[in-house]
Amino acid sequence: MRLRTKFAVAFVVVTLVLSASVVAAVEFYKRDAVGESRADVDETATRVADQIDASIRDRRDYVGLVASRPQARQFDGDGRFLEAFLANSRFYAAQVVAANGTVVDFRGDVTDAQRSAVLGSDRSDAAYVEAALEGRMYVARPNVSTAPTSTSSCSPRRYSNGER
């Protein structure tokens, strides 16, 4: 009987040691996997943020380039200027705002009702208009909605007679 008791005790001890080893190994693996996943998420987020920043810089530079052209200063309202701008950019819509803050043209992927509602409206208190009139480039924070894409406003500096 003594041998059986010793064997049972030894079996229980071995079982407990092996169980503890397995639990410790699983916890170590889980901790390592979580840490690795967090590092991957951080790296991916940094890459995506850099790509978004580069895309915004490119679009901002393009808007500034187009705004500095003589056609922008001599805007005649026939829509060709904005249509050409939209055809060569990734923007879905664009507005031309006069120095007093009145929207004088609005083109792009908008309905006639949207266009009519915006044309002639006063945007002088909008941040993008204020920045442009103060000679600063403006890029708004993205408006993230439930739609598959997000939007952001961007305005160039105001140019007058080739001067910034």
pLDDT digits (tens, 9 = 90+) for 40-71: 999 999 998 888 888 877 877 777 777 777 76
Q: What is the dihedral of CA 62, 66, 69, 71, to 10 degrees?
A: 170
pLDDT digits (tens, 9 = 90+) for 65-116: 777 777 666 666 666 777 877 887 778 888 888 888 888 888 888 888 988 9
pLDDT at 108: 85
Task: Show the tokens assigned to 96.
Answer: 């031309």
Reference 131, options 97, 105, 104, 106; nearest CA is 97
78 to 89, 101, 116: CA distances (angstroms):
19, 19, 15
What is the distance between the alpha carbons of residues 69 and 64, in angstroms, rounded to a whole number? 9
Residue with the larger pLDDT of the pair 152 and 9: 9
DSSP class per residue in 122-154: B-TTSHHHHHHHTT--EEPPPB--SSSS-B--E
pTM value is 0.57
Give the number of other Cβ atoms within 10 Å of residue 31's Cβ: 10
- Under the banding of pLDDT at 50, 70 and 90, the label for residue 155 is confident
Residue 128 has pLDDT above 90, yes or no: no
Reference 77, options 119, 25, 36, 110; nearest CA is 119
- For residue 12, how many C-alpha atoms fall within 13 Å in the half-sphere facing its CB? 5
pLDDT at 3: 84
Domain boundaries, the chain: 1-164
Amino acid present at 106? F
- Calculate the average pLDDT of the chain: 81
- Under the banding of pLDDT at 50, 70 and 90, the label for residue 164 is very low
Q: What is the DSSP letter of 91?
A: -
- E strands, the chain, in order: 93-97, 103-108, 138-139, 154-155
